[in-house]
């Protein structure tokens, strides 16, 4: 079984690429969905409250509060990443061991930070130009251009992700071109 990571910076279009992969009949594990599931886990919430005491109230995690905290305090961002990555990695590895298919894809934005880059046969990196990413974040998160830029700056630069990737996919908005490229890449990768 081929294990392929799909990574890239925020708003690069990793999810769109993974949706195309699913429509082509392949299994995709989404680490963002795993993270969302963790946010409803009471044991995880207790660990999270140690880092962000005001973030968990009545079993509900205030994600906006956490986002604001990690944008202002690098030590809190690193503490959150340490907690989240170890939990997410354990769940991904468990899922990878349960699946018996020709290929499985994992959408994983923070592949380096999670310590998972060596868990895959291939790494695909989705990239988009800066203006495209800023517009996507503004629209998706309803934030200003300045806030969108700050969010992007907290992540690894595209060239760092590209340097560890086997495949680079440009996604600046042409969906038909993207579908064709992903289909071609899958045919090549699954041989």
* Residues making up the chain, counted from first to last: 191
If you ran DSSP here, which 8-state letter would residue 24 be given? Answer: T
Query: How many secondary structure helices (H) and strands (E) does the chain include?
Result: 9, 7
Torsion of CA 141, 143, 147, 151, to 10 degrees: 0
For the chain, 191 residues long, the average pLDDT of each consecutive 10-residue run is 94 95 95 95 95 93 92 91 94 89 92 90 95 92 88 82 94 92 91 71
Written as six digits, the tokens of 179 are 């579908």
What is the model's pLDDT at position 190?
Answer: 80
Is the CB of residue 191 less than 8 Å from the CB of residue 3? no
């Amino acid at each position: 079984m081929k294990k392929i990571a799909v990574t890239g910076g925020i708003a690069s279009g990793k999810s769109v690429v993974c949706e195309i992969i699913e429509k082509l009949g392949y299994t995709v594990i989404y680490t963002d969905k795993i993270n969302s599931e963790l946010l409803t886990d009471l044991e995880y919430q207790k660990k999270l409250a140690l880092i962000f005491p005001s973030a968990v109230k009545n079993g509900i995690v205030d994600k906006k509060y956490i986002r604001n905290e990690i944008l202002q305090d690098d030590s809190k961002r690193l503490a959150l990443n340490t907690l989240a990555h170890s939990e997410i990695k354990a769940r991904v590895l468990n899922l990878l061991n349960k699946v018996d298919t020709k290929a499985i894809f994992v959408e994983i934005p923070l592949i380096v930070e999670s310590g998972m880059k060596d868990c895959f046969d291939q790494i695909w990196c989705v990239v988009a130009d800066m203006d495209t990413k800023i517009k996507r974040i503004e629209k998706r998160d309803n934030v200003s251009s300045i806030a969108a830029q700050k969010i992007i700056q907290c992540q690894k630069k595209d060239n760092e992700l590209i340097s560890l990737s086997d495949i680079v996919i440009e996604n600046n908005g042409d969906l038909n071109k993207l579908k064709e490229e992903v289909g071609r890449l899958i045919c090549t990768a699954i041989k």
